[in-house]
């Protein structure tokens, strides 16, 4: 089980295959990162969330911030998702669940009385030094992208 992650702690290192390449935490040194975990490509909530980040991408870029999504879907699934919705940021395929495990997003869930393991929708804002600045757990998609963007702006102001 992952150790408890809290703001101010060093973000767990990650590395994984994406629709284009491979990315790791160290690739983003000197930039803020919005690392968001989502359950599944091409599902309603995950699509709304991904398209929200896509649409706000220019505003995140102006704030020296990169967006990276993570799910357990395959690279092939990510490629279709990216193409269908014109997503222009990396989606990491974490099929083995190592990144989900290190960020504590692989959790027990309940739906209609059924218990199962799945990805908790969660977002981690990682600062330019590789430390966790803020964590959102059990994310509700509505207004989430704007909340994250506001947090990035506050983070950048506090670092000036």
Task: Determine which one of 46, 51, 79, 100 is catalytic.
Answer: 46
Fold of 27-158: Glutaredoxin (3.40.30)
Q: What percent of the chain has pLDDT over 70?
A: 98
Return the closest-CA partner of residue 63 out of 133, 136, 140: 133
Return the closest-CA partner of residue 119 out of 136, 132, 101: 101
Mean pLDDT, residues 52-65? 96
Asked if pLDDT for residue 2 goes beyond 60, the answer is: no
Active site includes 79?
no
Asked if pLDDT for residue 1 goes beyond 60, the answer is: no
Q: What's the pLDDT tens digit per position in 75-127?
A: 999 999 999 999 999 999 999 999 999 999 999 988 888 998 999 999 999 99
Find all residues with CB under 8 Å of 111, minimum gap 6, and list them: none
| Distance (Å, whole) CA 30 – CA 32 | 7
């Amino acid at each position: 089980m992952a150790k408890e992650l809290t703001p101010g702690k060093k973000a767990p290192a990650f590395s994984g295959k994406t629709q284009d390449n491979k990315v790791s935490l160290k690739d983003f040194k000197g930039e803020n990162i919005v690392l968001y975990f989502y359950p599944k490509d091409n599902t309603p909530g995950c699509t709304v969330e991904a398209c929200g980040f896509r649409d706000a991408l220019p505003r995140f870029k102006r704030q020296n911030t990169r967006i990276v999504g993570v799910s357990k879907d395959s690279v092939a699934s990510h490629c279709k998702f990216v193409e269908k919705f014109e997503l222009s940021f990396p989606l990491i395929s974490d099929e083995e669940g190592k990144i989900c495990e290190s960020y504590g997003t692989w959790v027990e869930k309940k739906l209609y009385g059924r218990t199962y393991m799945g990805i908790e929708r969660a977002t981690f804002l990682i600062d330019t030094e590789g430390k966790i600045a803020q964590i959102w757990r059990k994310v509700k998609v509505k207004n989430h992208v704007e909340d994250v963007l506001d947090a990035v702006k506050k983070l950048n102001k506090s670092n000036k």
